[in-house]
Amino acid sequence: MCGRFAQVIKHDQLKKLIDELAIAKRDEQIEINYNVAPTQAVAAFIATRETRLLTHFRWGLIPSWTMELPQYQMINVRSETILGKKTFKAGLQYKRCLIPVTGFYEWRKPDKQPFFIQAANGYPLLLAGIYD
């Protein structure tokens, strides 16, 4: 899956997403970024026991049980293998989020030409995510 994506959500699209997802906290904004890379801040929708809100996370999973900052952070996982990995167990059960993106980049081999994948109608995609 992607190692780069774009978060360029228009104001009217964000308002529609907030309404559709019944987000209570509406004062957050999504900073425009055409090339979001691992370790950068990303906007995400989360649901707590009390409410649903738009918040920001640093892209790259560092499990809470980790004693030191790993040299390489986990930025994605295959859907085919995630259920078998203990690292993601708590996140899958209790700490899921939706990441609104305009699209994501995939590189075509062998020349590594980037292609931008987006919805045909231009509406934001919601990527599944976990946090810790």
User: The domain spanning residue 59 has which CATH number?
Assistant: 3.90.1680.10
Residue 18 has pLDDT above 60, yes or no: yes
Q: Name the residue with higher pLDDT: 29 or 100.
A: 100
Quick check: is 97 catalytic? no
Range of the domain at 122: 5-130
- The whole-chain average pLDDT of the chain stands at 88
3-state secondary structure of 73: coil
3-state secondary structure of 25: strand
Cis ω for the linkage preceding 110 (within 30 of 0): yes
Q: What average pLDDT score do residues 25-30 get? A: 73
Quick check: is 2 catalytic? yes
Q: How confident is the model at residue 123 (pLDDT cuts 50, 70, 90)?
A: very high
**Catalytic option among 2, 31, 68, 80:** 2
Predicted local confidence at residue 118, as pLDDT:
97
Q: What is the C-alpha separation between 73 and 40, in angstroms, rounded?
A: 12
- Which pTM value belongs to this model? 0.87
Q: What average pLDDT score do residues 79-97 get? A: 83
Contacts (Cβ under 8 Å, ≥6 apart) of 26:
18, 54
CA distances from 43 to 48, 108, 110, 122 (A): 16, 27, 32, 18
Number of domains, the chain: 1
**Catalytic option among 20, 28, 50, 106:** 106
Predicted local confidence at residue 120, as pLDDT:
98
